[in-house]
Amino acid sequence: MQTVGHLINGKIVATDQRHQDLVNPSTNEVTARVALASKATVEDAISAAAAAYPAWRDVPPIKRARIMFRLKDLLEQNADKICELLTREHGKVLNDAMGELQRGIENVEYTCGVPELLKGEHSRNVGPAIDSWSEFQPLGVCAGITPFNFPAMVPLWMWPMAIACGNTFVLKPSERDPSCALFIAQLGMEAGIPPGVLNVVNGDKEAVDTLLTDKRVQAVSFVGSTPIAEYVYTTGTASGKRVQSFGGAKNHALVLPDADLDNAASALMGAAYGSCGERCMAISVVVAVGDATADALVEKLKAQIAELKVGDGMDNNNDMGPMVTRALKEKVEGYIATGIEEGAELAVDGRGLTVAGFENGNYLGACLFDRVKQGMVIHSEEIFGPVLCVMRVETVQEGMDIIDAHEYGNGTCIFTRDGEAARYFSDNIKIGMVGINVPLPVPVAYQSFGGWKHSRFGDLHAYGPDSVRFYTVRKTMTQRWPASGVREGVQFSFPSHH
Q: Are 95 and 215 in contact (CB under 8 A)?
A: no
d(CA 425, CA 435): 10
What are the CA-CA distances from residue 252 to residues 108, 207, 242, 255, 441 (Å)?
30, 35, 31, 10, 12
d(CA 419, CA 34): 51
- Is 280 part of the annotated catalytic residue set? yes
d(CA 249, CA 379): 11
d(CA 88, CA 65): 32
d(CA 113, CA 470): 16
Which residue is catalytic, options 180, 280, 367, 413?
280
H or E segment at 480? Answer: strand 472-480
Q: Are 409 and 251 in contact (CB under 8 A)?
A: no
Measured torsion, CA atoms of residues 4, 6, 11, 13, in degrees rounded to the nearest 10: -70
d(CA 208, CA 228): 10
What are the CA-CA distances from residue 444 to residues 104, 157, 259, 288 (Å)?
10, 11, 25, 28
H or E segment at 218? Answer: strand 217-223
Question: Looking at the DSSP assignment, which residues form a beta bridge with residue 168?
Answer: 141
Burial annotation 289-299 (CB, 10 A radius, 16+ → b, else e):
beeebbebbbe
Those residues whose C-beta lies under 8 Å from the C-beta of residue 300, and which sit 6 or more positions away, are: 261, 262, 265
H-state helical runs in 78-178: 79-90, 94-111, 114-117, 153-164
* Nearest CA-CA partner of 223 in 285, 143, 161, 167: 143
Q: Within a 10 A sphere around the Cβ of 186, how many other Cβ atoms?
A: 18
H or E segment at 181? Answer: helix 179-191
d(CA 79, CA 30): 24
Report angle CA 169, 467, 185 to the nearest 5 degrees: 35
**What residues act catalytically?**
280
